[in-house]
């Protein structure tokens, strides 16, 4: 998400955020890759690995928590999840 100051993009703040979040983002990407492997998905497969209990809510990448669904269904689920978070309208 770009940081804005007086209507202009603040690249310095973005870079600071990237440095703060980089280790977490690498860890999250590795968890997603592991989930795809557990689900048996190959490179280029249009389907996605969906976590029944999201990772940020304490879910795991074990096969019992991962299912294969279409990309559209996964995107729809993500929209619903973000709308139901407190503070979002």
Please determine, for residue 1, whether its predicted confidence score (pLDDT) is greater than 80.
no
Cβ-Cβ contacts under 8 Å for 66 (sequence gap 6 or more): 35, 38, 39, 49, 50, 51, 52
Q: How many domains does the structure of the chain reveal? A: 1
Residue 89 lies in a domain: no
Domain boundaries, position 10? 4-84
Helix, strand or coil, per DSSP, at residue 36:
helix
Residue 68: CB atoms within 10 Å: 14
- Tell me: the pLDDT tens digits for 7-29? 888 888 888 888 888 888 888 88
Q: Is the pTM of this model over 0.75?
A: no
Residue 45 lies in a domain: yes
Residue 67 lies in a domain: yes
Helix, strand or coil, per DSSP, at residue 75:
helix
- Tell me: the pLDDT tens digits for 28-83? 888 888 888 888 898 888 999 988 888 878 888 788 888 999 999 989 988 888 88
């Amino acid at each position: 998400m770009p940081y804005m100051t007086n209507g202009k993009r603040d690249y310095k703040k973005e870079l600071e955020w990237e440095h703060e979040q980089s280790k977490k983002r690498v860890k999250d990407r590795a968890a997603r890759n592991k989930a795809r492997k557990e689900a048996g998905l190959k490179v280029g497969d249009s389907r996605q690995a969906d976590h029944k209990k999201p990772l940020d809510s304490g879910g795991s990448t074990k096969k019992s928590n991962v299912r294969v669904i279409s990309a559209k269904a996964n995107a729809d689920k993500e929209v619903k999840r973000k709308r139901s978070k407190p503070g979002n309208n």
